[in-house]
Amino acid sequence: EQIEKGGYDHFMLKEIYEQPDAIVDTYRGRLLVDEGIIRMAGVDDNIEKFLNANRIIIVACGTSWHAGLVAEYIFEEFARIPVEVEYASEFRYRNPVINEKDVVIAISQSGETADTLAAIKLAKENGAFVFGVCNVVGSSIARETDAGAYTHAGPEIGVASTKAFTTQITVLSLIALTLAKAKGKLSKSDYHLYLNELELIPKKVLKALTANEHIIKISETYKDASNFLYLGRGFNFPVALEGALKLKEISYIHAEGYPAAEMKHGPIALIDEQMPVVVIATKKGHYEKVVSNIQEIKSRHGKIIAVVTEGDIMVSELADHVIEVPETVEAFTPLLTTIPLQLLSYHIAVMRNCNVDQPRNLAKSVTVE
Ligand code: G6P
């Protein structure tokens, strides 16, 4: 097992560090920047299904559901197709309105999650075209879906999902860009800009990982906290949810993710000097609004850990700690902002002597209801 961990203390840390390569593996042969095209057989062969769809419904569980939420923002931004994101467990039991004009995208790392599998069967029975985004080749979901695209992230062993999340977002971004082009929803120059930016993401993830030592120090300060709040807006709202999930999964600290603007409808009541608040405050993503949310936290003496764009000055003056990530287009910021949150939860869990790779009560793949 030590050899399999490749010199890392845990699979989770190894998998966090594998992300630059995993994302390259995900887009290799698909993202052809020089030719200005994206090639994905599962999408290209079924392009009419996507283009004729009234809407896309994404079904998933856990971290994959968070990737689905990011995808909702990306699909609607790039391709202007309405998207709904559902927990597979809710979808399968709530008599959803679904028919042959719907495209369902099922996202699953393992390809074996029972609820997601059941949601796929229901969607197919009602005539929808079902597309799978899976990591495990030949898995049940990969077999049950009408078409699909693998993430090619390589085996993910740590129960807390890391590289599966970023590679799912990568695949879904490729699909969104393909549809945007086919529907003529992006200008040529924007389309090329996004292709270029996506290709640069692995290098930027590598850069984001260099904050590790700094994050270890922050983790020391907050490892004994009882609660954490995570806030983000827009594309980074799902990242806040995922950051909170990562922390609670492996460190057993109660954590909540919230859209930053919703803070005033509840979570703000919890903020005092004992409450660390992780705020994703990258440039472009409603930056000024997030800065004013930070001011509200500060005036209530909350401890602010901000994830900011490289070179940020305004938030750095307000926050107790800042963690920088490289700049990219707003839609791809989740691929970078999620990295420090993975590292933060990892280090806090290690410092609390938790079993990082196999947290209590959790399973890597939930094959029963
Ligand atoms: C479990 C795992 C999570 C995962 C979720 C969905 O809860 O612990 O890490 O996100 O299942 O799994 P899937 O394989 O369908 O992505």
Pocket test for ligand 1, best of 113, 169, 241, 360 (most atoms within 8 A of CB): 113
Model confidence at 94: pLDDT above 80: yes
pLDDT given for residue 359 in this prediction = 93
Atom of ligand 1 nearest to the CA of 60: 15
- Global pTM reads 0.97
Task: Supply the residue whose CA is at minimum distance from atom 7 of ligand 1.
Answer: 62
Confidence check: pLDDT of 342 > 90: yes
Respond yes or no: is residue 364 known to be catalytic.
Answer: yes
2 pLDDT band (50/70/90 cuts)? confident
Question: pLDDT band for position 277 (50/70/90)?
Answer: very high
Q: Is 64 in the pocket of ligand 1 (CB under 6 A)?
A: yes
Output the DSSP codes for 86-123: EEHHHHTTS-----TTEEEEEEESSS--HHHHHHHHHH
Beta bridge partners of residue 230, listed in sequence order: 257, 278
Helix, strand and coil content of the chain, in percent to the nearest 5, comes to 50, 15, 35
35-58 pLDDT tens trace: 999 999 999 999 999 999 999 999
Share of the chain above pLDDT 70, in %: 100
Task: Compute, in angstroms, the gap from residue 259 CA to the centroid of ligand 1.
Answer: 22
> 104, 145 in Cβ contact below 8 A?
no
140 lines ligand 1 (CB under 6 A): no
* Number of residues that make up the chain: 369
Q: At what angle do helices 188-209 and 333-351 cross, to 10 degrees?
A: 20
pLDDT digits (tens, 9 = 90+) for 161-201: 999 999 999 999 999 999 999 999 999 999 999 999 999 99
Q: Using the predicted structure, report yes or no on whether residue 285 has a pLDDT greater than 80.
A: no
